[in-house]
Amino acid sequence: MIYVMSDLHGMYSSYLKMLRKIHFCDADMLYILGDVIDRGPQPIQILQDMMLRPNVYPLFGNHEWMAMQCLDWITEEITDTFLASLDTERLIHLADWMGNGASTTLAGYAALTKDAKADLLDYLCEFQAYEELYLNGQTFLLVHAGLGNFDPDKALTDYTIDELVWERPNLEKPYFDDPNRHVVVGHTPTLMLTGKPEVFTSNGCSFIDCGACFDVGRLACLCLDTMQAYYV
């Protein structure tokens, strides 16, 4: 079976519960559409678990992309002295990330050994911007947020990372006219779209961020073979 999750946001216990619920095994494949980190209490633990599973395939979310702009040069505790040593570009990157819930990721990262930090950074570099899968006569495009500045004639490789991790899709207009081409995204919580923490599909696009890190949300997992959604 092929499964998709997104926006775990440090909810390690929910992640493990979901793996048990779907009976995830070596024969399965799991694509995680980014935003594994930040906000929730245990983002590093999720990443370290993912690293050990060759059948888990990570994609960039905006939170991993923000982290990548900072983690390779954050080598010490963030103090006033450290902040004063940063140039404007790095300060902007750090401020953007901190404003989006980076504290739990930074705390977990700081507790790692030097080798473990290097392993984590190497793993983040393996994240992909998107994936296309062919299953049951359909083409599935997996991407964190959507296709910003969409043009049906534009190759997927021509989209910038910002267009792929910060987009908010238009619910009233499909990306593709082909009924056998289906987009799966996270990033925009379904609570904002329908008021419910449930997978929502509109015009050939399935939204699977059900607000795992929110009190009124939950973690969702979509099975692409059956289009069945699971929740914890």
pLDDT of 158: 98
Counting as low any pLDDT under 50, the low residues of the chain are none
| Residue 73 CB neighbours (<10 A) | 11
Q: Could you give the C-alpha distances from 87 to 80, 81, 84, 91, in angstroms and in order?
A: 13, 13, 8, 6
pLDDT of 76: 62
Mean pLDDT, the chain, whole residue set: 95
Element of type H or E holding 184: strand 181-185
- 102-158 pLDDT per residue, tens: 999 999 999 999 999 999 999 999 999 999 999 999 999 999 999 999 999 999 999
Structure token digits, residue 104: 């739990």
> How far is it, in rounded angstroms, from Cα 66 to Cα 55?
25
> How far is it, in rounded angstroms, from Cα 100 to Cα 168?
17
Q: What domains can you pick out in the chain, each with its CATH number?
A: 2-231 (3.60.21.10)
pLDDT of 105: 97
> How far is it, in rounded angstroms, from Cα 154 to Cα 167?
16
> How far is it, in rounded angstroms, from Cα 157 to Cα 73?
28
Contact criterion met (CB below 8 Å) for 42 and 108: yes
pLDDT of 73: 79
pLDDT of 208: 99
pLDDT of 3: 99
Contacts of 42 (CB under 8 A, 6+ apart): 10, 11, 12, 13, 104, 108
Give all strands of the β-sheet with 220-223 in edge-to-edge order: 56-58, 29-32, 2-5, 220-223, 228-231
